[in-house]
Amino acid sequence: MKLHIRAASAVVGIALLVSTTFSAGAFDRAEYAARRSRLMEQIGDGAAVVLGAPTPASDNAFRQGHDFFYLTGVEIPDAFLVVDGLRKESVLFFTMSEAAADGEAIPLDLIRAPAAYTGIERVVPADQFSAQLAGLASRGRPLYTMFKPEELGRENSNEKFNALQKSMTLSPWDGRLTRELQFVRQLRERFPQADVRDSSAIVWNLRKYKSPAELAVMRQAARLGVQAHKALIASARPNITERALAAVFEFVCKKDGAQDLAYDTIIMSGKNHAYGHYHQYDRVLNDGDFVILDAAPDYENYHVDISTSFPASGTFSPRQKELYEAALGVHEVCIRSYRPGVTFREIGQTVEAHLKAKGLERFAQDFRGIVRLGGYNHSIGLATHDVMGTFAGPDEVLKPGFVFACDIQLFRLGEQIGIRIEDTVAITETGHEVLSLGVPRTVAEVEAHMKQDGILQLLEKGGK
């Protein structure tokens, strides 16, 4: 069947709109070895035991837990890792046939030559794990393991723990422990002489500061997210459904290599600005709507976080422009201030001075939280709300490798206006890098970008 000429033109237009393909190979073995070495330094003569994610209970693609992946790069189900601080070696336990691995697109080299493939000193079958634990426990050395839940894909460990406590552990009709705390209980019951300690904060502090290799992957993830934001904004019009826009974002991300979204795409308009993470996609955009898009890809297991705000009509009303430019000004002050050695409190003081100098004291209450933390909202890495073992709040001193969301928000719920201007920022040796640079930010940039046809318009024209 021949393509209609207009349809073919639409396909070409879409290809041009999302033409750049990004790729980033897996980290080399030295990257993971360095991480395990730093863990050994933290646990002294102890041994750290890390559980890999189990085989999915249903027909879903396997995702490795973030902490296990961070230390090994191994994406295979039902694995265990022991990092021995005294012997300065690691042991990986797993069992899988070549046929099973091939069916799950797991590299066959991992099955055939696992030590060479992973760089881990010893790799043995999973049925030897119990004997290894018994031997470690009998020596009277500390046993470290993660007390907090594993993160899979879009999850955050602390948020998952709190949700499971409420719905499962503390439920009078359930009462189960998390998988990790069940493992801790088993260790203490089987080896009462063992000194079992929580390694969550230790591992999370290692994850807190990103290496150059991690930053390279996150930079690619951000570029992919910027491209998808621009594609969605260009497609936004009155009478377009939020569901169609969400589909555009996911299409662009996955077309160029994202394995998933970092989190469910958030689209807020109309009354839904009142709900900070709204992703029901149940509205059709109206002419006067102001829209928040908060969305990002999961790329090579790393996340970024990006938010843009724009008028559905493509033109800011005077009131929308007033509020938006107030928020954008604060965003720019924060971004300019990020550098090693300063604290979020000091950056917040700069924001406060900016509001006074610009005669914007009327927004002081709106930006109170932003002043307190200098625009900081959360750390970012393997999780969108990335975990950290320690965080000093306003007195956190910025150091190279720290990656976080600068998230400036301003809401007028009575007017159904919500603004979120969010970028992923990395602290460098000499200052900072906005990884998500490139989305339209100024009023002029947004309005100019929305004058072009987006994917949805090209498809509509191609079908006529």
- In this structure, which amino acid lies at residue 198? D
Helix axes 242-255, 455-462, angle to 10 degrees: 100
Cα 344 from chain centre: 21
**Distance between CA atoms of 84 and 40, rounded to whole angstroms?**
7
pLDDT in 10s for each residue of the chain, 464 residues: 333 334 444 433 444 444 333 223 469 999 999 999 999 999 999 999 999 999 999 888 999 999 999 999 999 999 999 999 999 999 999 999 999 999 999 999 999 999 999 999 999 999 999 999 999 999 889 999 999 999 999 999 999 999 999 999 999 999 999 999 999 999 999 999 999 999 999 999 999 999 999 999 999 999 999 999 999 999 999 999 999 999 999 999 999 999 999 999 999 999 999 999 999 999 999 999 999 999 999 999 999 999 999 999 999 999 999 999 999 999 999 999 999 999 999 999 999 999 999 999 999 999 999 999 999 999 999 999 999 999 999 999 999 999 999 999 999 999 999 999 999 999 999 999 999 999 999 999 999 999 999 999 999 998 76
Q: Is the dihedral of CA 325, 328, 330, 332 positive or negative?
A: negative
Secondary structure letter of residue 398 according to DSSP: P
**Distance between CA atoms of 394 and 417, rounded to whole angstroms?**
29
Query: What pLDDT, in 10s, does the model give residues 3-51?
Result: 333 444 443 344 444 433 322 346 999 999 999 999 999 999 999 999 9
**Distance between CA atoms of 441 and 454, rounded to whole angstroms?**
18
Tokens representing 63 are 């995702």
Query: What pLDDT, in 10s, does the model give residues 213-262?
Result: 999 999 999 999 999 999 999 999 999 999 999 999 999 999 999 999 99
Predicted TM-score (pTM) of this structure:
0.93
Compute the C-alpha angle 12/15/21, nearest 5°. Answer: 155
Q: Would you say 306 and 423 are in contact if contact means Cβ atoms under 8 Å apart?
A: yes
The domain spans of the chain are 29-208, 212-462
Which superfamily does CATH assign the domain made up of 212-462 to?
Answer: Creatinase/methionine aminopeptidase superfamily (3.90.230.10)
Return the CATH number of the domain spanning residue range 29-208.
3.40.350.10
Tokens representing 8 are 């073919």
Q: Which helix (H) or strand (E) holds 378?
A: strand 376-379
Q: Which helix (H) or strand (E) holds 98?
A: helix 98-103
First CA to last CA across the chain, in angstroms?
17
- In this structure, which amino acid lies at residue 186? Q
